[in-house]
A and B are shown apart, each in its own frame.
Chain A
């Protein structure tokens, strides 16, 4: 199994942000997904299921758990977009082989980031929702204390992501 290519994942996310002209948080992830002709579907899914990505009849589809908090939904949508952007050949292959539908679940395993594809998707989602340049602007040239919950929550609110996602992003800042 090949190692995760995090640089490529983040570069793809940045390229999409430039293409879409995003200049301030929060990043309009649903608009970005729809502009790429990918269908986004909301459904009440099992609690441990955040989202899914698949291709059906040649149409890219992203499923998001409607019962989750909207910030978590945004991260799930961005994560599933990553699968379409970064892993399309694999999805297409699997569609052909796997009864017309290839499903990639964001479950507890991927949340731990143990699969290369999931690690790449998380890196992509993190960069897409919390872009480096917008984060730098928000931090006003300074940094943030990872022990300072209030500061992390304030940043998370600004970018419309969960505190967990913001902390994940800041660990590599």
Chain B
């Protein structure tokens, strides 16, 4: 068993619309010694326009992304999946991975008709090295150097942290180089802040987090906003009714008697303040939690552990107050609207068991047999991703009418209102902006501009043809 450190380089930051171009992973033993490594790349999918900033950052010219010798996206995802499952169970760690790389991987898997939650299933756990480094800085600031960036603010960017702490980082934004730098930063915390490392590993396990927040008479929750750590002594008041992995906690700096005496309307107004006295986190997102008996004094904001625990016990014992707090918080919360884009609905329900069977059957079938499987999906997300996948991989097997329909739909998306994928108009405007700022010293952006003009011209011709 082991840790798996991983990183992705992508066409942009828009989850569900951008794609992974380069994936790298290093498997280590429990003491962070490397035992295996893996890398995979893919060529650009026809429905994805890279953001010019991503090309600039990753130093990837468009002609390299469209190189026909590169594996297809589907082949790359298949390869990643096979390797990661063979390395499971493990603790999956990346730098800012919970918010970004994990999501990119989930979308890639789901859009290739694989189960999305590989790093949460197969008895895996997951954690984020960025949270670890921020927690290390907050709890024992002498252990790591956090440099000051160009804007005069402390920066937690991987390349800056690596440089400031003597960590080798040969090529920032190369997936393997970023993985190796992340492993090395983790080794520093492992050696210099062993207590913190233990909590990091422990709370990578969702069941352990659930057990901890349920059992403890309060604990300290550390949240990070804008590179700043905020500690709060809290007690869990219940499960988020809208999400099984969500936990709602009350900040223990509140006057409990006053809260209990409020009407429902007053409670809702109180709980919708910013920052809200209710703190919400996901037990499957490796939250930064500290038991009271491990907490340094400065994290308790002057309170004594005894008093705070007594306050927590009082709330835990008052089921009625907890239920009222949860209900008021939920009532005051803005509802989360359903996205008009299927690409953004990954978290809107799991495929049913019949569709799961079809997903499995899809990968076992030959390309000509896959169309019928895709057309039998009940889930509209899988239907669309399946059609698009066949179009990308084996469009010659598609009947002319279906192929034309897919092309029309993809062309419409790439010329859309900008609420979904990056459109031709947006990509050209962003490219021109960067060129205007003098960021095109090697001609990478100019060549991308030509590529965009050619593509958008062809798309306009298709739209014109469809209009007749």
Residues in A lying within 8 Å of B, measured CB to CB: 26, 30-31, 34, 39-47, 49, 65-67, 69-71, 73, 160
Q: Which residues of B contact A39 (CB under 8 A)?
A: 194
Contact with A along B271-300 (1 / 0, CB 8 A): 000000000000000000001011000000
Q: A49-B1, A67-B90 are in contact. List 16 more A-B contacts (CB 8 A).
A: A30-B291, A31-B293, A34-B294, A39-B194, A40-B198, A41-B194, A42-B198, A43-B30, A44-B30, A44-B89, A44-B201, A45-B30, A47-B123, A66-B204, A67-B91, A160-B215
Q: Which residues of B contact A49 (CB under 8 A)?
A: 1
Nearest residue, chain B, Cβ from A40 = B198
Assess the A67–B30 pair: CB atoms within 8 A: no
- B208 nearest CB across to chain A (Å): 4
* B125 contacts partner chain A, Cβ-Cβ < 8 Å: yes
- Greatest chain A CB density within 10 A among B90, B198, B294 is at B198
**Chain A to chain B contacts (Cβ below 8 Å), 17 pairs:** A31-B291, A34-B294, A39-B194, A40-B198, A41-B198, A43-B31, A44-B30, A44-B89, A44-B90, A44-B125, A44-B201, A47-B123, A65-B1, A66-B91, A67-B91, A70-B208, A160-B215
Q: In the bound complex, what is the Cα–Cα distance between A29 and B100 (angstroms)?
A: 36
Assess the B207–A69 pair: CB atoms within 8 A: yes
* B81 contacts partner chain A, Cβ-Cβ < 8 Å: no
* B385 contacts partner chain A, Cβ-Cβ < 8 Å: no
- The secondary structure that dominates the A interface is mixed
Q: Which residues of A contact B91 (CB under 8 A)?
A: 44, 66-67
Q: In the bound complex, what is the Cα–Cα distance between A47 and B90 (angstroms)?
A: 10
Contact with A along B211-226 (1 / 0, CB 8 A): 1100100000000000
Assess the B212–A70 pair: CB atoms within 8 A: yes
- A7 nearest CB across to chain B (Å): 30
* B202 contacts partner chain A, Cβ-Cβ < 8 Å: yes
Q: Which residues of A contact B228 (CB under 8 A)?
A: none
With A66-B91, A66-B208, A70-B207 known as contacts, the answer to whether A44 contacts B1 (CB < 8 A) is yes
Tell me the residues in window 200-258 of chain B with beta carbons closer than 8 Å to chain A beta carbons.
Answer: 201-202, 204-205, 207-208, 210-212, 215
With A66-B91, A67-B205, A70-B211 known as contacts, the answer to whether A44 contacts B3 (CB < 8 A) is yes
Nearest residue, chain A, Cβ from B2 = A44
Q: Which residues of A contact B211 (CB under 8 A)?
A: 70-71, 160
With A69-B207, A70-B212, A71-B211 known as contacts, the answer to whether A47 contacts B89 (CB < 8 A) is yes
Assess the A73–B208 pair: CB atoms within 8 A: yes
Q: In the bound complex, what is the Cα–Cα distance between A42 and B286 (angstroms)?
A: 14
Q: In the bound complex, what is the Cα–Cα distance between A159 and B291 (angstroms)?
A: 19
Q: Which residues of B contact A44 (CB under 8 A)?
A: 1-3, 30, 89-91, 125, 201
- B144 nearest CB across to chain A (Å): 20
Tell me the residues in window 163-218 of chain B with beta carbons closer than 8 Å to chain A beta carbons.
Answer: 194, 198, 201-202, 204-205, 207-208, 210-212, 215
- B27 nearest CB across to chain A (Å): 11
Tell me the residues in window 79-129 of chain B with beta carbons closer than 8 Å to chain A beta carbons.
Answer: 89-91, 123, 125
Q: In the bound complex, what is the Cα–Cα distance between A26 and B208 (angstroms)?
A: 14
Nearest residue, chain A, Cβ from B89 = A67
Q: Which residues of B contact A30 (CB under 8 A)?
A: 291
Q: In the bound complex, what is the Cα–Cα distance between A85 and B221 (angstroms)?
A: 33
Q: In the bound complex, what is the Cα–Cα distance between A70 and B207 (angstroms)?
A: 6
Q: In the bound complex, what is the Cα–Cα distance between A40 and B123 (angstroms)?
A: 22
Q: Which residues of A contact B215 (CB under 8 A)?
A: 26, 160
Q: In the bound complex, what is the Cα–Cα distance between A49 and B202 (angstroms)?
A: 16
Q: In the bound complex, what is the Cα–Cα distance between A65 and B125 (angstroms)?
A: 12
Q: In the bound complex, what is the Cα–Cα distance between A26 and B215 (angstroms)?
A: 8
Nearest residue, chain B, Cβ from A34 = B293
Q: Which residues of B contact A47 (CB under 8 A)?
A: 1, 89, 123
Q: Which residues of B contact A69 (CB under 8 A)?
A: 207
Assess the A66–B3 pair: CB atoms within 8 A: no
With A44-B90, A46-B1, A47-B89 known as contacts, the answer to whether A66 contacts B125 (CB < 8 A) is yes
Q: In the bound complex, what is the Cα–Cα distance between A42 and B31 (angstroms)?
A: 11
Assess the A70–B291 pair: CB atoms within 8 A: no
Q: Which residues of B contact A40 (CB under 8 A)?
A: 198
- A53 nearest CB across to chain B (Å): 16
With A44-B125, A46-B1, A160-B211 known as contacts, the answer to whether A66 contacts B202 (CB < 8 A) is yes
Assess the B198–A67 pair: CB atoms within 8 A: no
Q: Which residues of B contact A43 (CB under 8 A)?
A: 30-31, 201
